[in-house]
Amino acid sequence: MMKKANLIVYKILASILLSALLFSCVNDLESIQKVTYDPKAPDEVTKNLRVFYTDSGYARVEVFAAIAETYSKPIAVTKLKDGIKVNFFSADGKIVSTLTALYGEVNYANGTFFVRDSVQLVNHEKKQRMETEALYWNQKDSSIYTTSNVVVRSPKGVLYGDGIRTKQNFSEYEFLKPYGKINFDD
């Protein structure tokens, strides 16, 4: 009888101990966030990003980036890192121009795309290349502009300037402060 009573006591003690172990480990969500939350961390990270912007079912812009980090605060922005390539398409679906850089930021509030570091804009048909260190692409009106030093190379020569304005197809452009040398046909 004593053995049976001891067995019951042991079972009760084991149950209490097991219950204490199970219910003593409570993870408070607020405490976890204090340890793991970084307010400067991106909301979303994408590797090998490829995005198409279309209009009426036709490709207009294609964006490639090695790494894309999206932030919602303090402003909605996506940072593109480790190489960017943007293809601009004509109305008939052909790639007209290509923009490349090492870093970029898409600002959704004002509709601009800022790129910097080894920036190049190429018009494939005219075989002309613009080189600069930073420029903006306004997505609303398809304009590209910079106030930085710019070099435009084409089969006709090399032009230099401080600042340029052009459309995303880079078919025509206007230097803000041009200088350089160009060969004209007769």
| Domain at 41-182, CATH from 2.40.50.140, 2.60.450.10, 3.90.850.10, 3.90.950.10 | 2.60.450.10
How far, in whole angstroms, is CA 162 from its chain's centroid?
26
Asked if 98 and 121 count as a contact pair (C-beta separation under 8 A), the reply is: yes
* pTM recorded for the entire structure: 0.75
The pLDDT of residue 74 is 85
The pLDDT of residue 134 is 97
Q: CA 64, CA 85: separation in Å to the nearest integer?
A: 5
Rounded to the nearest 5 degrees, what angle is found at the Cα of 135, between the Cα atoms of 119 and 91? 85
- DSSP assignment letter at 183: P
Q: CA 25, CA 85: separation in Å to the nearest integer?
A: 50
Asked if 83 and 67 count as a contact pair (C-beta separation under 8 A), the reply is: no
Q: Could you write out the DSSP letters of every residue in 56-81?
A: TTEEEEEEEEEEEEEE-SSS-EEEEE
The pLDDT of residue 119 is 97
Asked if 83 and 103 count as a contact pair (C-beta separation under 8 A), the reply is: no
Tens digit of each residue's pLDDT, the chain (186 residues)? 566 666 777 778 777 777 766 666 566 666 655 666 677 888 899 999 999 888 777 778 999 999 999 998 888 999 999 999 999 999 888 999 999 999 999 999 999 999 999 999 999 999 999 999 999 999 889 999 999 999 999 998 899 999 999 999 999 999 999 886 666 665
The pLDDT of residue 86 is 96
The pLDDT of residue 164 is 96
Question: Tokens 């001891």, residue?
Answer: 6
The pLDDT of residue 179 is 80
- Residue spans of the domains in the chain: they are 41-182
Asked if 178 and 160 count as a contact pair (C-beta separation under 8 A), the reply is: yes
